[in-house]
Amino acid sequence: MDVIAKARELGALLQQDERYLKLMEAQKANEADDALNELIARIQLVQMSFQHEAAKEDKNEQKLEAYDKEFGEIYTQIMANPNMQAYEAARAEIDKLMQYITGIFALCLQGEDPATCEPEQEHSCGGECSSCGGCH
């Protein structure tokens, strides 16, 4: 059995998963959102300006602060965009899936039974453990 061939099969299955399809749909929506793309282009220019100024020997701290502030303002606008929010949510789901799959692989490499091993999953409980019991 060729492990690379099986990895390619898994890759094909991932591309059929609804989480992947949602991510691709969200990515297309981002690409079609002119206002979002304008903000992204602006934030990239601010970042380049910041890096250019920071690399100077006689860098202007006030300019750097202004660039940092502008970056933060644009970033807030980008993250408030509904298309970006949908993309970030879809990406988080894919990241969670990939962490889970990687966890299974890691357990298998430690000798665990591939059919039954279960990686620990992160809990997003906010730290209050009295009602959960999910952490070990």
φ/ψ of 123, rounded to 5, equals: -110, 140
Measured distance CA(23)–CA(29) in Å, rounded: 10
Q: Name the pLDDT band for 121 (thresholds 50, 70, 90).
A: confident
Cα–Cα dist 88/49, whole Å:
26
Instruction: Identify which has the larger pLDDT, 133 or 73.
Output: 73
Which residue from 88, 91, 114 is spatially nearest to 101, judged by alpha carbons? 114
pLDDT of res. 38: 98
Mean pLDDT to the nearest integer, 62-78: 97
Please answer whether residues 100 and 119 qualify as being in contact, where contact means their C-beta atoms are separated by less than 8 angstroms: yes
For residues 22 and 45, what is the distance between their CA atoms, to the nearest angstrom? 29
What is the pLDDT, as a whole number, of residue 136? 43
pLDDT of residue 70: 98
How far is the C-alpha of 92 from the C-alpha of 76, rounded, in Å? 18
Classify the phi-psi angles of 56: left when phi > 0, otherwise alpha if psi is within -120 to 50, otherwise beta: beta
**Would you state the structure tokens that stand for residue 124, as one six-digit string?**
């997003």
